[in-house]
Amino acid sequence: MGEGDKTPLLCLHGGPGGTSKSYFNLSEISEERPVIMFDQLGSGRSDFHQDTSLLKVEKLRAQVHAVKD
């Protein structure tokens, strides 16, 4: 959300069952910087899955790094 030229803000919700929905209130700062809302796999607007092997810290860390890069 947003297209400003300042450093982007990456928002991560608090864990399984959480969503990025509450971060939409950051729309005011999105005029000066992009706000990236990340939903953990299986939460919020992310894809649903049944493979619990994907719910590992190292997998989540890799996903966050991919978004950051």
The 10s digit of each residue's pLDDT in 30-55 is 889 998 887 776 666 666 667 777 77
Cα 8 to Cα 4: distance, rounded to the nearest angstrom: 8
Residues facing 37 on adjacent strands: 11
Answering whether pTM is above 0.75, one says no
Phi/psi at 40 (5° precision)? -60, 145
At 37 the pLDDT is: 81
At 47 the pLDDT is: 62
pLDDT above 70: residue 29: yes
Exposed, middle or buried by CB within 10 Å (0-12, 13-18, 19+), for 12? middle
**Residue 13: CA count within 13 A, CB half-sphere:** 20
End-to-end distance of the chain based on CA atoms, in angstroms?
A: 17
